[in-house]
Every structure is written in structure tokens, then in C-alpha cells.
Amino acid sequence: MKIRNIAAKTAAVLGCSALLALVPAIAGDEAVAGEDLGAEVSVGYDTDYIFRGANLGQDLLWSDVNVSTSLSDGLGLNIGAWYANPTDAGDDELDVYAGVSTDLGGMSLDVGTTYYYFPGATGDNTLEIGAALGTSVGAFDVSAGLYHDIDTDNTYLEVGVGTSVDLTDSVSLDIGATIGNNQDEVISGQADGLTALTITVGAPIGLSDNASLTPYVGINAGLDDNDGDGDEIFSGISLTVGF
């Protein structure tokens, strides 16, 4: 799973590479800076590279490495890199990200930045900053994130909701949905305004205490002026190992 948007894990939207980026682990009350250092390595395949309602390529192979730790009580740090290789149309992409998160009491706040680097695509590299809030409402996790691209001067707003149900001791069902809004026309010819409703259903399978395999399926439905291409069904699978 690509984890690009700051509140992606908070929103529990699974498997979909439409969603990247900075979700630091919130440190516990007794955390000491650097004490809970951890890392994750993930690899995955997506039939389509869906990012913020836009299809940026097909047959996507990707990998992600990230490290998280506590800076102080209630303050977490996460840094990492995500590399994408759409093998059928689309450009290679390297995202380098960093962010911090804190617990506001019943709500999490995540603030971070992502640098999007496209090897061989001169002039397309951009730097983005963002912030997101996440909380739980009953059985659902909800989030709202605001992201501003400094180079394109575009601002993107995304809201998400998700839930998870345990099917067995090692398998769960995760359902999530997001809706986004572009201030300007910047991603793959999208118009400004609402981008798409993206819904994913994933089934994480626990392989061991620190490894999981997650197949998923999703649908991306364009909204307003972005509905001309019709609905897209996509799917994928990812393997994550924690250390």
C-alpha cells in the first residue's frame, strides 16, 4: 500500500496507491525520544496508479521504506521513501517524505512534507506540504487533510472515512473511501473542483507477528467535471514487513 497522504492510516483506506504518505506513529505517554525506533518495508503491485482521483499509469510496481520514532511524549516522527514504476504508461516516481504527529486528545494531528521526484521528467519535480486531522467516530475512522504544492501552487483537500472488521485471528476486512477537491487543474488534466470518490476494500492477512499480505480491490468514480472517463475498477496486492 502506498502511504502518501498524511492521514491515510488514520482513515484506514487500504491498499490503494491513490493514497501516499506521512503517518508517524503517535508516541505513548511514557515514550522516551528515540526509544521506540521502528521500520517498515513494503512492496506492491497495482493494476492502476490512482492518485487523488487521477489515473497516472498502469501495472504499477512500487516499494516503500520508512522509519518512525518518538521525539518526546506524544510526539512522533516518520521519514521514508516510496518508489513507483508504472510498467505500462506513466513515469517513474520517487517520493521522499517526512512528518510529525501528535495526539490532541481524541484526535491526531499530522504535519509533513513530500518531495515528488520524476527521473527523466525535467521540470516536473514538486515539493508539497500538508496537514491532517484524524479521529474515531464509533466504529469509523475519519480524517481531513489539506495539501499545498509549492511549485504548482495547487491546494488539495481530501476527506476520508474507513472501518475495519476482524474476520479471523489473522484476517481482517478494511473498507475505506475518500473524496478530494483540487483548487486548480494540475493532475493528469483534471479540472478544478471535486476530483473523484475512491472506495477500496482490502483484506490484510497476518503472515507473522511482523508481516502482512494485503490484497485489495477498488473503484474510482470521477465527480463533476472529472466524470468524463467513467468509473475505473482497479486492484492490487502488497507485502509489508516491520522491524
Position 104 in a domain: yes
pLDDT one-digit tens code per residue, 152-177? 889 999 999 999 999 999 999 999 99
Residue 4 CA to residue 221 CA, distance in Å, equals: 20
Q: Could you tell me what percent of the chain has a pLDDT over 90?
A: 63
Place of cell 507477528: 209
pLDDT in tens, 66-77: 999 998 888 999
Rounded average pLDDT over 206-226: 93
Q: Using CA atoms, how far apart are residues 44 and 55, in angstroms rounded to an integer?
A: 17
| Ordered DSSP codes for the chain | ---BSTTHHHHT--S-TTS-B--PPPPPTT--TTTT-EEEEEEEEEEEEEETTEEEEEEEEEEEEEEEEEEETTEEEEEEEEEEEEEESS--EEEEEEEEEEE-SSEEEEEEEEEEE-TT-TT--EEEEEEEEEEEETTEEEEEEEEEETTTTEEEEEEEEEEEEESSSSBEEEEEEEEEEESSS-STTPPSEEEEEEEEEE--EEEETTEEEEEEEEEEEE-GGG-TT--EEEEEEEEEEE-
The domain tally of the chain equals: 1
Task: List CB contacts of 115: < 8 A, sequence separation 6 or more.
Answer: 95, 96, 97, 125, 126, 127, 128
Give the pLDDT score at 33. Answer: 55
Asked whether the beta carbons of 27 and 75 are under 8 A apart, the reply is yes
Identify whether 3 is part of a domain.
no
- How far is C-alpha 12 from the geometric centre of its chain's CA atoms? 9
Please report the pLDDT score of residue 229 as a whole number. 61
What is the rounded average pLDDT for all residues in the chain?
A: 84
199 domain-assigned: yes
Write down the pLDDT at residue 159.
97
**CATH code where residue 15 lies:** 2.40.160.40
Q: Convert the pLDDT of each residue in 9-67 to its tens digit.
A: 333 333 333 333 333 333 334 445 556 889 999 999 999 999 998 888 899 999 999 99
Question: d(Cα 139, Cα 110) in Å, to the nearest integer?
Answer: 21
Q: Say how far apart CA 138 and CA 144 lie, in whole Å.
A: 17
**Residue 145, domain member (yes or no):** yes
Residue with cell 518518538: 70
pLDDT at 34: 53
Residue 2 placed within a domain:
no
Per-residue pLDDT tens over the stretch 94-149: 999 999 999 998 899 999 999 999 987 766 899 999 999 999 999 999 999 999 99
Q: What is the pLDDT of residues 96-111, one digit of tens each?
A: 999 999 999 889 999 9
Residue 230 maps to a domain: yes
Q: Which residue range forms the structural domain that includes residue 228?
A: 8-242
Asked whether residue 1 is domain-assigned, the answer is no
What integer pLDDT is reported at residue 129 of this predicted model?
97
